[in-house]
Amino acid sequence: MCGIYGYFDRSGAALPDATLAQMDRLLTHRGPDDSGHVRFSHGAIGNRRLSIIDIEGGHQPMTAAEGKVSVVQNGEIFNFVELAEMLRRDGIALRTRSDTEVLLALYLRDGVDFVRHLNGMFAIAVHDGRGDRPVLHLYRDRMGVKPLYVHDDGTRLTFASEIKPIFATGVRPVANREALHHFLVLNYVPPPLTAFDGIRHVPPGGRLSISPTGMVEDRWWRLADIQPQPMKLADASAELLALLDDAVRIRLRADVPFGAFLSGGIDSSTVTGLMAMHMSRPVDTFSIGFEDQRFDETRHAHAVSQRFGTNHRHEIVSPRMLGRWPDVLHHLEQPHGDVSFMPTLRVAELAAAETKMVLTGDGSDELFAGYDKYLNFFGPSATFGDDATFARTYTDSALTLFPETTLDADLYASGAAKAVAGLSTHDLIAGHLADVPQFDHLTRALYLDALLLLPGNNLVKPDRMGMAVSLEARTPFLDYRVVELAFRMKAELKLSEGRTKHILKHTVRPLLGSALTDRSKQMFTVPVGEWLKQDLAGHAREMLLSDQFNDRGLFQPDTVRLLLESHIQGSRNNTREVRALMALEHWHRLFIDADADTDV
């Protein structure tokens, strides 16, 4: 696990050493163990390293071809052992046990398509100075587990694992109104947009190739290319168990202490149980709980710990943790209405005190229909109409925080409404759904969440909160083999008889037992709605009723006041709306209001 950064200047102009050093420094938390960079005729690539595999031999960048080819990566290649053996059989000698050297050797052997061999989570930069013109290739893993941001002004393309290093090159933080409009509708910024003008994500499965004459962008893997297949429950379950077991096995490859996040839900429990089967020592597990029993899963996590004999550590958190909201948003760099980032940061801190790497259960809900929204929308009596009707109805009923009609009529101030006139989150969603006509309606909804919600919000959580404390998080459910199997399945294997995750529960019931497998799902979230009525009411008023908030000219003050006060008084539950507006205000204060000459 690392952070990468660099640039390609088509004119050949060089960034100063001090700027590269600043980009490096801003990623120290992602890689406190080592750093390095290499310059070339049109730019540079660099790395901050969190040493997990081959502690002594894995320094980056790695170079070959008399220094003309260099590679850096953020992430891990989980099948690097098998790939190294394949290379040796082909007569290619390797000097280290590092997965990064495997990347370099594969690129030299196979060229730009080397990435297709990889099973991992990664963002990779390869500079190739051979031939008539230099080229920089940027790659992102299939599901977007690892982040990769770019800014291109037409002359210089800058990239990094986080956004702040891009600001270090002189790019100014300017709010992207389109992205913030979609944030208010969806509760997160949908990629490839970011909240900043001119800065975007490389898409999952994406590749950029930058040269002095321009840039070519394509996708080396697409979720939309998967075709459904008829499957029997027994056959699909057997294949799923085998793939999950192997996904966990290869993610245990590490030369440092490691453990698991354990909430007590079916996903993290499955990962913990499979880890226990492959390990000769007890699994170290970590969890967070709440005093409010409606939100607390501590007892379930303890039950899993007892079943598999783990060394378990947990902590109960209080409303005071919301004081860390600015710290969390500093690491997120974009507004997120999901406040479970805060307990995730705390459980990452617990784990980082003992380990350098954890496995998590992230991704299962989006593969196997684990959320109640799927059950509520795709019930046995559901009707969907044509594709346009389905897209609009599903967006409005299952995805929307602030409906676009409400934003335009009641919430936006007049100037803000004019600035986003013509934008439509409905059209954005409909466009993505139109890419997968081969899927049934439920699988289209899962596709949408895998494409947008996972890389835009849910995978940001373990990456950013783990990296904030130099902790690597690995996600076995997002092994590409498991993902491809899940999207080949039809809806009836995922939702059946009023049950979510039908195939997964059938598969892991022998491992977990019925009590753990069949209990009701409990969302990992913070009881912030209650806290905002009591301990944090004053803080909420300071954030949303202040002159600083109103002077932005984004929202109608009377509407915001009514929304907040009706929640505090208990006449309406506006938890999600209030926390989204507070997240947006925190973000503005941290990034947009900051002096452009200071570190943001």
What are the sequence ranges of the domains in the chain?
A: 2-176+191-221, 228-366+458-486+501-518, 528-592
Please give the pLDDT value at position 437.
Answer: 97
Q: What is the pLDDT of residues 319-336, one digit of tens each?
A: 677 788 999 999 999 999
Q: How far apart are CA 325 and CA 597, in angstroms?
A: 23
Q: Say what the pLDDT of residue 466 is.
A: 97
pLDDT for residue 120 is more than 70: yes
DSSP conformational letter for 113: G
CATH number attached to the domain at 2-176+191-221: 3.60.20.10
Mean pLDDT over 259-270 rounds to 96
327-to-12, 316, 332, 593 alpha-carbon distances in Å: 37, 20, 9, 16
In a 13 Å sphere around the CA of 313, the CA atoms on its Cβ side amount to: 17
Asked whether 395 and 426 are in contact (CB, 8 A), the reply is: yes
What pLDDT is attached to residue 530? Answer: 84
pLDDT score for 167: 97
Average pLDDT over residues 359-382: 93
Residues 6 or more apart in contact with residue 401 via CB below 8 angstroms: 184, 185, 186, 187, 337, 576, 577, 580
Say yes or no to pLDDT of 380 above 50: yes
Each residue's pLDDT tens digit, 153-209: 999 999 999 999 999 999 999 999 999 999 999 999 999 999 999 999 999 999 999
Report the predicted TM-score, pTM, of the whole model to 2 decimal places: 0.96
Residue ranges of alpha helices (H) inside 372-479 are 372-377, 387-394, 404-406, 414-419, 425-433, 441-448, 460-467
pLDDT surpassing 70 at residue 439: yes
Q: Directed axis angle between helix 575-587 and helix 177-186, to 10°?
A: 160
- 2 an active-site residue? yes
Q: Identify the CATH class of 228-366+458-486+501-518.
A: alpha beta
Confidence at residue 596, expressed as pLDDT on a 0 to 100 scale: 40
Q: From CA 219, how far away is CA 202, in angstroms rounded?
A: 10
Q: Could you report the per-residue pLDDT of 17-50, keeping only the tens digit for each?
A: 999 999 999 999 999 999 999 999 999 999 999 9
Is residue 396's pLDDT more than 60? Answer: yes
pLDDT band with cut points at 50, 70 and 90 for residue 430: very high
Identify the active-site residue in 1, 2, 544, 582: 2
Please report the pLDDT score of residue 317 as a whole number.
Answer: 78
- Phi/psi of residue 383, each to 5°? -125, 145
pLDDT at position 112 is 97
Q: Is the pLDDT of residue 597 over 70?
A: no
Q: What does the angle CA 75 – CA 78 – CA 81 come to, to the nearest 5 degrees? A: 125
Contacts of 501 (CB under 8 A, 6+ apart): 266, 364, 365, 368, 369, 370, 494
Residue type, 351: A
Neighbours of 383 (CB within 10 A): 7
Burial of residue 494 (number of CB atoms within 10 Å: 0-12, 13-18, 19+): buried
pLDDT above 60 (res 384): yes
Q: What is the mean pLDDT of residues 548-556?
A: 96
* Mean per-residue pLDDT over the chain, rounded: 94
Tell me what pLDDT residue 323 has. 83
pLDDT at 595: 46
Could you tell me whether strands 284-290 and 311-317 are parallel, antiparallel, or unpaired per DSSP bridges?
A: parallel
Please state, for a pLDDT cut of 70, what percent of the chain lies above it.
Answer: 97
> Does residue 599 carry a pLDDT above 60?
no
Sole residue written with tokens 């052992």: 81
Residue 436 is predicted with a pLDDT of 98
Determine the Cα–Cα distance for residues 573 and 575; give it in Å rounded to an integer: 6
pLDDT at 521: 65
Q: Alpha-carbon distance 502 to 493, whole Å?
A: 6
Give the Å distances, CA to CA, from 184 to 193, 406, 543: 14, 11, 17
* Residues 62-114: tens digit of each pLDDT: 999 999 999 999 999 999 999 999 999 999 999 999 999 999 999 999 999 99
User: Which of 47, 284, 29 minimizes the C-alpha distance to 159?
Assistant: 47
Taking residues 366-385, what's their average pLDDT?
91
Residue of 72, 8, 14 lying closest to 216 (CA atoms):
8
**pLDDT score of 150:** 98
- Mean pLDDT of all residues in 461-469: 97
Tokens found for residue 185: 């509708």
pLDDT at 532: 87
The per-residue pLDDT for 320 is 73
Q: Which residues of 396-407 are buried (b: 16+ CB within 10 A; e: fewer)?
A: eebbbbbbbebb
Cα gap 57→51, rounded to integer Å: 10
Q: What is the pLDDT of residue 260?
A: 98
